[in-house]
Amino acid sequence: MARRPRGDEPGAWFHVINRGIAKRALFESRSEARFFLSRLARQVRAGRIEVHAFCLMTTHYHLLLRSPIGELSEAMRLAQSSYSRHFNRKHKRDGSLIRGRYYSRPVDSLEYRRTLVRYIDHNPVKAGLVSHAHAYELSSAALHMAARNTPWLSSSWIREEACRVAEQTRFTPSAYIAAFGAGYSKEMLETQELVQARMNSTALPNPKYDLIGTSSRQVRAWMQRKAKLADGHRVGLPICSSAALLDSLKANLATQGPWWVETKNHNWRGDELIWISALHDLCGLTWKQISERIDKPIALARRRASKHNELMLADSEYGDRAQRVVCAALQPIGRRDRSGTR
C-alpha cells in the first residue's frame, strides 16, 4: 500500500516523534543525545527546519518543528541516518536503530502549538525522571528557562508568548512557567489526552475543523456545517479532550439548569445530545468508542447525533446553548467557567 503523503508545505508546523526499533534505547548516554541534537542543528543551519521545542527520552524523542521551505522529510532523513550511523559505529552493531520513518502530525493552530510545548516539556515529569520540566537536561524547557542564546533553537515565538501570558515586557523564567509550566494538574491531564488522541488519529487534517482560538460565530458556523453533513461524516482530528468537554457541560448545567428540548413526538435531553455529538466531532471518538463510553448501542449514539444535527439547523435556542458548551470546552481551564455559561 502506498504511503500517505505528509503534506509538508513551506511554513507548516509539525509535532515529530520517533523511537528506537523494538522499543530499544535510542539514546544510551548524554553524549549520544547531544550528537543527535547536533544533527538537528545542522539541518537548522541548512534552513530546512526550525526547532522550537524538543525532549529526548531514552527510547524516543518529541520535536515541535517548523518547516520553512517544505523540506522536513529531507531534514529528518539526514538527521536520523547520520545519528544511526554514529550510534552503530560506537556500539559496533549494524542494522536498523530507529523504528522507521518519523511520525508527524500537523500543528494547525496557535493554541495547539502552545499545548504541544506543555506536552513535550512534561514528558520527563510524567516518566518520573524530574519534578520540574526545566530540571531535565535534554529538553528545550531547560534551555528556554536558562534564557541563553542557543543559535539552533528558535526562541522568539516562545518568549513572546511567555511575555504575553505573564503580562510582562521582558522575558523571565517565571514568564515561561506561567505560559507553559502547567505541572501535573488537571490541565496537564487534558493536554495529555488531547495530544495522545491526535497522535492516534488516522484522520487527515482539515483547517476548517480546527476551532481552537476562533470566535464563537465561527464555532456556530462550523457546527452548522457539520449538521448539514449529517451524522455519517468522517471524524476529523481531535481538537478537544473529553475531560474539557465534560467540564464545560457540567458548568452549563450548573448555571442554566436541566436541559430539555421538546419536539413534536419526544422530549430530548439536550446535554445527552451535545455530549454524544461533540465526543464525535470535537474529541475524534469513533461511534464504537462513543458506544462504549455511554454504554449504549452504536445505533442509539448515531440517532442521538442525528437529532443534534437536526436541532442545530432548526432550533435556535438549542443551537445557542450547544454553541456555548462547545466554545467553553475549547477554552483553557482558567477561562472555561467564565465562557459558555452566560
What are 267-302's pLDDT values in tens digits? 999 999 999 988 888 888 888 889 998 898 999 999
Is it the case that residue 232 has pLDDT exceeding 60? no
Range of the domain at 322: 190-336
Q: Are residues 158 and 222 in the same domain?
A: no
Same-domain check for residues 149 and 253: no
Domain match, 44 and 134 both: yes
Q: 143 with 114, same domain?
A: yes
Q: Are residues 126 and 48 in the same domain?
A: yes
Are 52 and 154 within 8 A, CB to CB? yes
C-alpha pair distances (Å), 112 with each of 13, 21, 65, 244, 321 = 11, 29, 13, 14, 25
Pairing of strands 260-262, 60-67: unpaired
Q: Is 3 within a domain?
A: no
How confident is the model at residue 114, as a pLDDT? 86
- CA gap 144, 266 in Å, rounded: 57
194 and 126 housed in the same domain: no
Q: Which residues of 264-290 are buried (b: 16+ CB within 10 A; e: fewer)?
A: eeeebebbbbbbbbbbbbbbbbebebb
Q: Do 201 and 280 share a domain, yes or no?
A: yes
Confidence of residue 209 (pLDDT cuts 50, 70, 90): very low
Cα separation values, 272 from 27, 87, 169, 282, Å:
48, 54, 45, 15
The residue that leads in pLDDT, 76 or 9, is 76
Do residues 302 and 283 both lie within one domain? yes
Residue-wise pLDDT for 2-26, tens only, equals: 455 566 788 999 999 999 888 888 9
Asked which of 156, 183, 210 is the last residue of a domain, the reply is 183
Query: Quick one: pLDDT at residue 27?
Result: 93
Is the pLDDT higher at 327 or at 272? 272
CATH of the domain at 104: 3.30.70.1290
236, part of any domain: yes
Residue 342 inside a domain? The answer is no
Q: Are residues 264 and 204 in the same domain?
A: yes
Quickly state the pLDDT bin for 178 (edges 50, 70, 90).
Answer: confident
Has residue 7 been placed in a domain? no
Answer yes or no: is pLDDT of 339 > 50.
no
Quick check: is 4 in a domain?
Answer: no
Indicate whether 178 and 206 sit together in one domain: no
pLDDT bucket at 188, cuts 50 / 70 / 90: low
Select the more confidently predicted residue: 239 or 252. Answer: 252
| 225 within some domain | yes
